[in-house]
Structure 1
Amino acid sequence: MGIVIIGCGNLLRGDDGVGPILIRHLWEEGIPPHVRLVDGGTAGMDVAFQMRGADEVILVDACRSNSPPGTLFKVPGAELENLPSLNEIHSHAFRWDHALAFGRWLLKDEYPKHITVYLIEVSDISPGIELTAPVAQQMRKLAQHLLEYVNAPG
């Protein structure tokens, strides 16, 4: 099925919307036919189903780790799979990291062989604001990197 790029986050919470905004940016730039873009929003459960059958998944989201705003982290998906006990899971708290673990269990042979997660350190997640300058700048750099990656031969 090719590459699936999923942008997660809340568009109504400033820098937390960096994932979906990156997806819109990639869409406007144009992508090759072997790439599918997904606005994962805040629906973690949907992320698991969007990965089905993909050769590779690239997931982009915001993070808060006390690093400088705009810091970019690249992490193999397997390092972030986190599934709480079944007693603790409910749909309102099901995040994309849960979806990685749930997807491995659910999708079995259709689970992607390669998952990479890019996390961009936030500055402000106040309701209603746009991306802050350092987050917007890093988002544009990452978008350019992803465009070069998906358009590279082979």
Structure 2
Amino acid sequence: MTTPSVLVLGIGNLLWADEGFGVRTVDFFYRHYQFPPHVQLMDGGTQGLYLLSYIQAVTHLLIFDAVDYGLPAGTIKEVLNDEVPRFMGAKKMSLHQTGFQEVLAAAQLTNKYPQEVVLLGVQPLQLEDYGGSLTPLIKAQIPTVIERAIYHLQRWGVTVDPRHPPLTNQAGLSEGALAIERYEAERPTEAVACRIGDARILNQHFNDEHE
């Protein structure tokens, strides 16, 4: 049996509350489990087409993301293979999904597309909370999504072993001020930080509309 080359990719924008689900999930997975050399875990953030070469280089792709399926908040949904691009483009929550849909399309056009693609997505609860972290409901779905990820990796012949002890938050894929504990602990209060975006841009937009 040929050894698969596997990419486990978390995508999304962790600055917008539940939009960061994919990034936080792949970071949790990396800190709590160890993998063989042919498996790479990556925080894809909102990089869009910069991810193309990574997608083209692997035989198996597993994606974590927050996706608007039109389902109750917190619902976990698995999407496989040819259905993945369609679901990522159905109800775009942000530009990162437009970008990643284009990445998958470009990989298909170049005939360098993974043999298998799995999207493990969760329906978000809160998005318009700039600088916010995952809501408790969505954060609670991470262990279940990890279980499904392990199932698919084992199905692909990948050995997944727990780390004892897990890596610290600062040793994960999200480092420095973006590591989850520091990110949550150092968030400014509402009195000094806008919760729905950059106040300068929002104020300008408001003024333009009312001139």
Q: TM-score range by the shorter chain?
A: 0.7 to 0.9
How far residue 128 of structure 1 moved from its aligned partner, in angstroms, is 1.3
More strand by share: 1
Indicate which of 4, 9, 18 corresponds to 1:6: 9
SS at match of 2:120: strand
Contact preservation (8 Å) 1:32, 1:151: no
Q: Quick one: which amino acid aligns to residue 141 of structure 1?
A: T
Which position in structure 2 is the counterpart of 1:118? 120
Between the aligned partners of 1:20 and 1:145, the Cα distance in structure 2 is: 16
Which position in structure 1 is the counterpart of 2:133? 130
Indicate which of 50, 69, 73 corresponds to 2:73: 69
Which position in structure 1 is the counterpart of 2:153? 150
Between the aligned partners of 1:18 and 1:64, the Cα distance in structure 2 is: 12
Change in CA separation of 1:21 and 1:39 when aligned onto 2, cut-off 3 Å: same
RMSD after superposition = 2.4
Change in CA separation of 1:62 and 1:29 when aligned onto 2, cut-off 3 Å: same
Which position in structure 2 is the counterpart of 1:57? 61
How far residue 111 of structure 1 moved from its aligned partner, in angstroms, is 1.9
SS at match of 1:68: coil
Structure 2 residues without counterparts, runs of 5 or longer: 90-94, 158-211
Indicate which of 37, 47, 51 corresponds to 2:51: 47
Which position in structure 2 is the counterpart of 1:88? none
Q: Quick one: which amino acid aligns to residue 28 of structure 1?
A: R
Contact preservation (8 Å) 1:45, 1:94: no
Task: Determine which structure has greater relative contact order: mean sequence separation of CA pairs < 8 Å that are 6+ residues apart, divided by chain length.
Answer: 1
How far residue 66 of structure 1 moved from its aligned partner, in angstroms, is 3.3
Q: Deviations over 1:98-128 (max 9, x none)?
A: 211111113x2x3211111122100001111
Output aligned runs, 1:11-22, within 5 Å.
11-22=14-25
Output aligned runs, 1:17-28, within 5 Å.
17-28=20-31
TM superposition score normalised by structure 1: 0.82
Change in CA separation of 1:62 and 1:150 when aligned onto 2, cut-off 3 Å: same
Contact preservation (8 Å) 2:17, 2:126: yes
How far residue 153 of structure 1 moved from its aligned partner, in angstroms, is 8.3
The structure with more radius of gyration = 2
Contact preservation (8 Å) 1:75, 1:116: yes
SS at match of 2:85: coil
Identity of aligned residues (%): 23
